Amino acid sequence: MPSAAAPSGGPFGRDLLALTKPRIISLLLVTTVAPMYVAGRPALLLILIVVLGGYLMAGGANAVNMYFDRDIDDTMARTKLRPIPSGRMSPMAVLAFGVALASAATFLLARFANVLTAVLALGGFYFYVFIYTRWLKRSTPQNIVIGGAAGAFPPLVGWAAVTNQIDLTALYLFAIVFYWTPPHFWALALLKQKDYGNAGVPMAPLVWGERETMNQMLWYMFILIPLTVLPVTFGALGWIYLASALILDAIFLGGIVKLRATAAWQGHAWWLYRFSLLYLALLFLAMAVDRVIARP
């Protein structure tokens, strides 16, 4: 009997993990923990609590997102193998799993960090599930612009966990992620137009066209660059971060310019999408390194 049960237990566990989208959450955790070091000197236990709570909350949001998107996931090549469209898990089981994770995260953060941290994390959950997934995603090409705010909550969560408040620096970190999201996601949307078209999701390239989407990516980059520098102007971050930000900004900007100038842009769009992930991770790691080294 044990040998017969093992195969089913393994795939089921992998399905539960897949529902949380761990690869996506890993970047969210970087943008959560790095601001904790900018805000102060977080204890290791607090970091572990915030990491666990953040993973549970984001994982719960991702699972609930899959519940709501179950009607279109089987129409897209990159999502049709998810647990619900493949028939490996029932929709209600996925919904219950997601709600359970979010509930556990709320309790953990409120009890062992502070209530503000839990409220902000829960706010990100609701914004992603209801504002982005249920409202914006299928109704407007601006879906990822406004809905991208959900992915910008983690810096606020990390900051609040250390300080129990939100100040100007935390809002700048929120804005950096917010304005990074459109050029990052539209690089992928350019490549997945057929999938989104089959699902009836009005992503920017389908509505505006490829050229206008690339132009919008460039305009958002022009907003993002000064935002990455502003925290240095009022002393929140120092020269280590500034040098890192300018280098990363130059590479990201150059990538978008090259994308617009290249006729066969598909390969470069993949490069740009992957680099944008590295860009955000390195930018926030530079914040933490800057403060750890600068702080006596």
| Average per-residue pLDDT for the chain | 92
What are the tens digits of pLDDT across the range 242-259? 999 999 999 999 999 999
What string of DSSP letters covers 235-294?
TSS-HHHHHHHHHHHHHHHHHHHHHHH-SS-HHHHHHHHHHHHHHHHHHHHHHHHHHHHH
What is the Cα gyration radius of the chain? 20
Instruction: Kindly list the domain boundaries of the chain, sorted by start residue.
Output: 2-294
| pLDDT: which is higher, 128 or 12 | 128
Confidence of residue 2 (pLDDT cuts 50, 70, 90): very low
Tokens of 199: 């699902």
Q: Residue 180: pLDDT above 70?
A: yes
C-alpha distances out from residue 56 to 31, 83, 88, 127, 162, Å: 15, 18, 22, 16, 19
C-alpha distances out from residue 75 to 24, 125, 187, 194, 195, Å: 22, 25, 21, 10, 7
What are the tens digits of pLDDT across the range 84-141? 988 899 999 999 999 999 999 999 999 999 999 999 999 999 999 999 998 988 899 9
What are the tens digits of pLDDT across the range 53-77? 999 999 999 999 999 999 888 888 7
**Positive or negative: CA dihedral 209, 249, 294, 25:** positive
Q: How high is the pLDDT of residue 1?
A: 32
| Residue 143 to residue 123: CA distance in whole angstroms | 18
Amino acid letter for position 231: P
Q: Residue 3: pLDDT above 60?
A: no
Domain range 2-294, CATH class: mainly alpha
What are the tens digits of pLDDT across the range 20-52? 999 889 999 999 999 999 999 999 999 999 999
Mean pLDDT of 16-20: 92
* Cβ atoms of 137 and 167 closer than 8 Å: no
What are the tens digits of pLDDT across the range 274-293? 999 999 999 999 999 999 99
